[in-house]
Amino acid sequence: MLQNKRIAIVGGGPGGLTLARLLQIKGAAVRVYERDLNNEVRVQGGALDLHTESGLAALQKAGLMDAFKANYRPGAEKIRVVDSQLKVYLDEHKKEAVATFGDKHYRPEIDRGPLRDILLASLQPATIVWDSHIVSVEPVRDSWNLVFQNGSTATADIVIGADGANSKIRPFVTDIKPLWTGITMVEGSIKHAERTAPIVHQLLEGGKIFAFGNEQTVIVSSKGDGSFGFSAACKTSECWYKESGIDFKDHQQVLDWFKKEFTTWNSTWWELFANEETVFIPRPQYCMPLDQQWAAKPNITLIGDAAHWMPPFAGEGVNMAMLDALQLSECLTSPIFVNTQAAIANYEKGMFARFAKAGQGTLFNTEWMHSPQALDNMLAMFGRSMLKQMGFIGKMWVSVTLIPFIRKAVGLSPKQYVLTE
Ligand SMILES: Cc1cc2nc3c(=O)[nH]c(=O)nc-3n(C[C@H](O)[C@H](O)[C@H](O)COP(=O)(O)OP(=O)(O)OC[C@H]3O[C@@H](n4cnc5c(N)ncnc54)[C@H](O)[C@@H]3O)c2cc1C
């Protein structure tokens, strides 16, 4: 089906690169058009946990598990759950890090940079065409003309939009728009964290922090190079990031916003905003409609965030993107489909169903994480998952009324971590 077909993958994120690798293994002719000027130009965000049945399954199929095991960060999955005053309620650092690859509960973490490097290194030379910011595609008989911002063009027989949340390819597949969730996240990335944010760095201890308070969240995620990524999220109006007048390049303005908006939070958190080198990105959170569906096109489709953008509060985005890549590569190279449209239709059917489920869980998390009961819900979630792993419960729902029991059972009496006031 793919013989003599030129495949253009638009976007070299985890989804697009995984797809390129999987298709090349099957002998397909693939180009990845990426808007970045090169691999170094953009700071890659915090660590990602890959799931056995999705992200890791795709890497396994791509023959990249050894490379993953050489680059993942054992222990980076360890979480501390704290409140806005930095009281620790749950501390996974007390547990020994055990690598149990194959276990569906094991979710090893890898930094985005090394994940991207592994995927890039696995591709044939000249697969990636950097500096290819696509602005449009034009149908030309049975193929596509790709138009780039720098004035260049390319042609392809099949186009796959893997260009993330604000996909330029999506409008050629569907006119379904994302829905506003009511939450904006301000993302930051801190270099030399030991020096620039020492208290949070110490609390992080190479893992992750989930902090809840006053219907707001701060999530911090370590990186192997001594830096870390974080996000502060709260309820806002849809266009707050524009209407607020904040210059997100000016750390002092972002700090002033945090002090005012996260007014009940301990001043220790201010160190996240104190460094003038920190780059902030406001990210209003949208989610594609959970029931979205469209009729399959003959030679264009979407994977990853381009297909099903959702908030990151369930850690599903990258895993879904890589599983899409796996499923689409299987469909496009399967002899059972009569043509690419049938293969795309089969892939999209599965993708719609996966997203409906994952998106529901994500919206559920987005809601409760920004509710007054966020901390108790988080502890209930961890307690439920822990008791399941210990074989104590099957599908039993652990209600928040069990939280005191869970805390006691796992020795988690809340303790003050550090206070500077
Ligand atoms: C702050 C934050 C934290 C997150 N944390 C997690 C987490 O812990 N776990 C998790 O699973 N997910 C997380 N996510 C979501 C996750 O990052 C995405 O779901 C995932 O990266 C989607 O992969 P993708 O390949 O579809 O798109 P992307 O990773 O967005 O990649 C798209 C690529 O396309 C390129 N591109 C974009 N537009 C164009 C264009 N016009 N022309 C050419 N190239 C283009 C981009 O430069 C990029 O390289 C988080 C997201 C954010 C913002």
pLDDT tens digits for 99-111? Answer: 889 888 889 999 9
- For a ligand 1 pocket test, name from 166, 305, 308, 328 the mutation site with the most ligand atoms within 8 angstroms of its C-beta: 305
Tokens found for residue 259: 């002090």
Considering Cα of 96, then 102, then 107, then 113, what sign does the dihedral take? positive
Last residue of a domain, one of 263, 287, 311: 287
* Three-state secondary-structure class, residue 85: coil
Last residue of one domain, picked from the residues 243, 271, 287: 287
In a domain, 96, yes or no: no
pLDDT for residue 397 = 38
Can you give the pLDDT at residue 387? 56
Which residues contact ligand 1 via a Cβ below 6 A? 10-16, 33-36, 45, 48, 132-134, 162-164, 168, 187, 231, 283, 304-306, 312, 315-319, 321
In this predicted structure, the answer to whether residue 136 has a pLDDT above a threshold of 50 is yes
pLDDT confidence bin for 1, thresholds 50/70/90: confident
In a domain, 66, yes or no: yes
Residue 359, domain member (yes or no): yes
Pocket residue to mutate for ligand 1, from 21, 35, 185, 210, most atoms within 8 A of Cβ: 35
Atom of ligand 1 nearest to the CA of 167: 38
Q: Classify residue 103: in a domain, yes or no.
A: no
Q: Is the pLDDT of residue 51 over 90?
A: yes
Beta-sheet strand order (sheet of 153-156):
134-140, 143-148, 153-156
Task: Give yes or no for residue 400 having a pLDDT over 70.
Answer: no
Residue 120 and residue 142 share a domain: yes
What percent of the chain is modeled with pLDDT above 90? 80
Which ligand 1 atom sits closest to the C-alpha of 310? 19
The pLDDT, as a whole number, for residue 108 is 94
Q: How far is the CA of 160 from the centre of ligand 1 (A)?
A: 15
In a domain, 261, yes or no: yes
| Helices (H), ranges, 281-402 | 305-308, 317-332, 340-369, 374-389
In a domain, 282, yes or no: yes
Mean pLDDT of 54-75: 97
Residue 45 Cα to ligand 1 middle (Å): 9
Tokens of 393: 């419960």
Q: How many CB atoms lie within 10 A of CB 226?
A: 14
The CA 152 to ligand 1 mean position distance, Å, reads 24
Distance 317 CA to ligand 1 centre (A): 8
Nearest CA to ligand 1 atom 20: 318
One domain for residues 335 and 386: no
4 Cα–ligand 1 center, Å: 30
Atom of ligand 1 nearest to the CA of 309: 19
Predicted confidence band of residue 49 (pLDDT cuts 50, 70, 90): very high
Structure-token pair, residue 4: 């003599």
Q: Which residue, 285, 293, 301, 295, is CA-closest to 353? A: 293
Which residue is closest in CA terms to ligand 1's atom 30?
A: 164
In this structure, are 259 and 344 located in the same domain? no
Has residue 43 got a pLDDT over 80?
Answer: no
Convert 291-315 to b/e letters by CB count within 10 Å (16 or more is b).
ebeeebbebbbbbbbbbbbbbbbbb
Please give the DSSP secondary-structure letter assigned to residue 200.
Answer: H
Same domain, 275 and 361: no
Tokens representing 55 are 């992200």
Has residue 83 been placed in a domain? Answer: no
Q: Whose CA is nearest to atom 48 of ligand 1?
A: 13
Each residue of 370-388: pLDDT tens digit? 999 999 988 888 776 665 5
Residues 308 and 354 in one domain: yes
- Among 112-116, 142-146, 408-412, name the one with the lowest average pLDDT: 408-412
Q: Which residue has the higher pLDDT, 6 or 377?
A: 6
Atom of ligand 1 nearest to the CA of 17: 25
What average pLDDT does the segment 157-171 reach? Answer: 97
Residue nearest to ligand 1 atom 50, measured at CA: 312
Region of 164 on the Ramachandran plot (φ > 0 left; ψ -120 to 50 alpha; else beta): left
CA distance 68 to 114: 9
Residue range 224-230: average pLDDT? 92
**Two tokens, residue 164:** 């993330």
- The closest residue, in CA terms, to atom 14 on ligand 1 is 312
Share of the chain above pLDDT 70, in %: 90
Contacts of 281 (CB under 8 A, 6+ apart): 186, 187, 188, 248
Same domain, 155 and 142: yes
Phi first, then psi, for residue 248 (nearest 5°) are -75, 0
Do residue 268 and residue 339 come from a single domain? no
pLDDT of residue 339: 96
Residue 80 falls inside a structural domain: no
CATH of the domain at 203: 3.30.9.30
Q: Are 131 and 274 in contact (CB under 8 A)?
A: no
How sure is the predictor about 200, in pLDDT bands with cuts at 50, 70 and 90?
A: very high
Are 231 and 113 found together in one domain?
no
Centre of ligand 1 from the C-alpha of residue 72, in Å: 19
Ligand 1 probe mutation, 318, 322, 326, most atoms within 8 A of CB: 318
The structure tokens listed for 267 are 């001043």
Answer whether residue 414 shows pLDDT above 80.
no
pLDDT of residue 5: 96
Give distance in angstroms: CA of 330 to centre of ligand 1: 22
- 153 and 47 co-located in one domain: yes
Last residue of a domain, one of 245, 267, 287: 287
Domain at 339, CATH number: 3.50.50.60
Domain total for the chain? 3
Within this chain, do residues 58 and 162 fall inside the same structural domain, yes or no? yes
Specify the ligand 1 atom closest to the Cα of 135: 41
Instruction: Indicate the pLDDT class of residue 46, thresholds 50, 70 and 90.
Output: confident
Across the chain, mean pLDDT equals 90
**Domain interval for residue 20:** 6-73+108-177+289-365
Q: Are residues 14 and 157 in the same domain?
A: yes
**Cα of 91 from ligand 1 centre, angstroms:** 29
Nearest CA to ligand 1 atom 3: 312
Q: How many residues in the chain?
A: 421
Give CA–CA dist 285/262, Å, rounded. Answer: 18
Q: Return the bridge partners of 88, or none.
A: 82, 415
Q: What average pLDDT does this structure show over 126-131?
A: 96
Nearest residue CA, atom 15 of ligand 1? 317
Residues 216 and 240 in one domain: yes
For ligand 1, atom 19, name the residue with the nearest CA. Answer: 317
The residue with greater pLDDT, 19 or 376, is 19
- Residue nearest to ligand 1 atom 9, measured at CA: 315
Give tens-digit pLDDT for 266-317. Answer: 999 999 999 988 889 999 999 999 999 999 999 999 999 999 999 999 999 9
Question: Per the structure block, which two tokens stand in for 88?
Answer: 């620790």
